Amino acid sequence: MAIWKKFHKDGIPEYLARNYWWAYVWSFGIWFWDHQPIVNMILFGNYRKLINATVARYRKLKPQNTLQISGVYGRITPELALELKDNDFHLVDITNGQLVSARKKLAAQKETEKFAGNLSRMNAENMAYPDNSFDSVLIFFLLHELPPDVRKTILAEAVRVVKPGGSIIVTEYGERTKTHFFHTFFLSRWILGYFEPFVPAFIAENLTDNLNESAKTVNKEIEHIDTKIIFRGFYRNAEFKVK
């Protein structure tokens, strides 16, 4: 039996078990990858810039309640929660191991330990939150790991749970450029597509269009506010308003 099939149980979606069991479902993998130097290396030294750009959005927006859709290695969750310490912060993920890890990070900071109980195991394709529950949703490096149909569903769910006037913040790979070395050099393109099979389709698409398409299914609209380009376009941090 293929190894990934051992991880395809307890509600773990097939795309996650098949492509990322070694990163997000296997407990040793979660421990191994969740080290700042490793995460920073995977992001070519840009992790601090990506965290800072994301937290800066929240410093400006000051949402009363925020949902992070899916856990992430490293410091984004504890640092964002610290920024939001006077308000409310929630996180959902489909794997228990990622929730345990995020819970430990929040509990380790006095100001954010109260949020440890706000972490829920949910499939982001079908979240239990009512419509218009949050002022803001953060999606940090999740979209490129999803098959296109799941990506559309999760984007629609994100829009559904954000109140009109609220925001969606996406930190992700940038759209494919004609000039970035990693987008043009065949070997880097091959490596990226091999380890991250959904990246080529994701970076070929326009995120604002995709969000708007998903928003229509929940009778809302999206306005693109601003995109900060990081590492000459290989990464981005974008803000959208839900209407």
Ligand X SMILES: C[S@@+](CC[C@H](N)C(=O)[O-])C[C@H]1O[C@@H](n2cnc3c(N)ncnc32)[C@H](O)[C@@H]1O
- Interface residue with ligand X among 13, 29, 147, 197 (CB under 6 A) is 13
CA atoms of 231 and 239, how far apart (whole Å)? 18
Site for ligand X in 72-91 (CB under 6 A): 72-73
> With binding defined as CB under 6 A, does residue 157 bind ligand X?
no
- Interface residue with ligand X among 19, 95, 167, 212 (CB under 6 A) is 95
- Residue closer to ligand X (CB basis): 89 or 141: 141
- Residue 15 Rama label (left phi>0; alpha psi -120 to 50; beta): alpha
- Interface residue with ligand X among 98, 136, 212, 214 (CB under 6 A) is 98
Of 30, 140, 158, 145, whose CA–CA distance to 76 is shortest? 140
> With binding defined as CB under 6 A, does residue 21 bind ligand X?
no
CA atoms of 169 and 192, how far apart (whole Å)? 24
> With binding defined as CB under 6 A, does residue 138 bind ligand X?
no
* Size of the residue set binding ligand X (CB under 6 A): 20
Residues 71 and 93 sit within 8 Å (Cβ to Cβ):
yes
- Token pair 């995109």 is found at 227
- Residue closer to ligand X (CB basis): 96 or 223: 96
99 φ, ψ to 5°? -70, -40
Which residues contact ligand X by CB under 6 A? 13, 16, 24, 39, 70-73, 92-95, 98, 123-125, 140-142, 145
